Structure 1
């Protein structure tokens, strides 16, 4: 193994599906559809024959629901969290399963004409879309509850804070986007390089650590999304 081999590792090559005016990352859509399909199958299988004493996949789905409810309740509040459980849950589960798929599934075994398959969250377009959805969600939450008076928050507690408060709404999605993308990309790059240098044993602890950090990143994203929604619903006096 030499430096030339390591240098041949490339980042950012994609299989593009093109129309006249739009080019989309085909491999990201393929893996995203797979993740969504997997979540749908598990959800249907776990809830198609509900029992008073849960067993099998019903245990998994009920535990996941309770966990997500706790996140939403903690961040948004007892009174208003229920209507946001589906959004928080979808965000959390998609990121969680996407992150783990990058660590557990041998995506690279499937050859493509260009680029390679990988976790959807390894594409900054995916993380940017998730961050944008979160921004839309907390704006919608605040405006739906308070109407036009929602925008009073930009001049509270003092009018001279207007630029800072506006800037904050730009930094929230940026931090969500780059935190998730950076962590997942860094993890996959480190494991990929170590697999080239030392194919056996050494990368295993890092892969296990990657599973842990991937789960934490999903939790952090969902928690912050809930916190931002809760902040927009909060009454300021």
Structure 2
């Protein structure tokens, strides 16, 4: 059975996740102890580790004595990412799993600041961009709970996270937030109301968030679950696609 690893001891787990196929901003946040939970077979000399923040990531040695237990402990219906070396053990332990493709992205050689500014100038008349504040966070959450639900409360989101939205007639219709954040990176979450999709609103909030990352020394991280998200990442300037396999248990 894996044991919980407190935030102060999670740096020892980082080598197990070097070169992980995706979810890099989430991994950084959990390893730094900002958000999420972590377990390992040993806090002092880990061979297997499990990180969780709305998604499960297991890494290390699939031949380790507790590797199978780590996979067995996950509830049905959860989502999981592992390296290819774990796939045979995953199938052996869990039986039928549902693989699907996610897409990680390389960082561009250089972010085009002029292009990011240009994208933010494309809002239709009546649509107003703004950064999320104490006065607006409740309305921002009303657009989509996923924009802030990894944080303990709206106040916690304002203290440790960041969000940008677009309003129309007083209501947020599109938003980009820190799904996960650390001193190293920021994992993107973007939501647009179905009625207002395909108007360039997500491009505006995504470009503004990239600017925020660059201004604060953070690596922007985008992990796409579908083709529409992948195309949006490319339009705001992310580099080559790096597809990988994730699993629904």
TM over 0.5: no
Q: TM-score, normalization: structure 1?
A: 0.23
Computing the radius of gyration over CA atoms, which structure comes out larger, 1 or 2? 1
Q: Which has the higher helix share?
A: 1
Q: TM-score, normalization: structure 2?
A: 0.22
